[in-house]
Amino acid sequence: MNICKLLFSKILLGLFFIFFLLFFTGCSSMKALKDVNENPINIVRGNPENPAMVKEYLENVLAFPEGREVKAFNRKPYSPENKKTLFMHHSFYVFLKDGKIEHSLVFTATPKGSEQKGNWMLDAESDIDSYKMFINSNNPWQVEEYQTSKYGSRLNLEGTTKNILKRLEKEYSFFGPASVRDLPWYHFLWLTVTPPPILTLGSILIVSIHKDNCNSAVLETMVWDKPEVI
C-alpha cells in the first residue's frame, strides 16, 4: 500500500512538472501565448513569407560575409517586467554589418490559425528594442550575450548561418519546453531522479523531436569560432 501511495505521489508530481513546463515557462507560458494570439503587433510572427525572407537573407550572408558577424543573446521573455530564470528566458540572434545591426533573427511561436506552427522571423520588435537598449547601456530586459569560458563570445558566421538554414529547411514546429533537452547534465539528473522519468523527461524529449522553441533554436545552431592553433 505504501509503495502504491509513493508511486501515485510521484506520478502526480511528474504530471505537475509537465504541466508546469507546458504552461508556465518562458515561450510556452499561458501569458506569452495569449500575447502572441491576441496582440495585433504579433500578427507578423505568423506571416507565411517569414521562412522565405529568412532564407534569402541568410543565403546573402553566406554569399557576402565581408564585414558581417553574428551574435547570440538571451533576455527576459516577452516583457521587461517578467523574471529571467533557468526556465524563463528568451534567446535570439543579431546579425551585424560593419559593427551595426542589420537584422535580428528568432524562432517564434505563431498566432492561432497561422500556416506554420512556429516560424523563423527577422526583426521581432521586442528583440530589436531590447538589443538597442542593451547596447545603449539601458538594460531592463537583462540582455546577455552568450559566451563560453573556452571560446569567449565569438560565433563562427558561416557555421552558425548554415546550421540555421538546415533547421529552416527541416521545418521544425514550435514546442514550448523543447529547450529542456539543452539543460546542463545536473538538471537532467534531477529531472530523472525526482519524478518518474517515463512521465517527465523521457516523454518531453520524445515529444520535442523535430521541434524547437526560441532557446533550443539558438543553443543548437550556434557554432563557436575556435581560435587557430599556431
Quick: pLDDT tens for 135-161.
999 999 999 999 987 767 799 999 999
Quick: pLDDT tens for 81-102.
888 887 788 999 999 999 999 9
Percent of the chain with pLDDT over 90: 45
pTM: 0.79
- Interval 57-77 mean pLDDT: 97
Contacts for 213 with CB less than 8 Å, ≥ 6 apart: 26, 27, 28, 107, 109, 174, 175, 176, 177, 178, 179
Domain map (residue ranges) of the chain: 43-175+211-219
User: What mean pLDDT value characterizes the chain?
Assistant: 79
**CA pair distance 155, 223, nearest whole angstrom:** 6
The answer, yes or no, to whether residue 64 has pLDDT greater than 80, is yes
Which residue shows C-alpha cell 520588435?
125
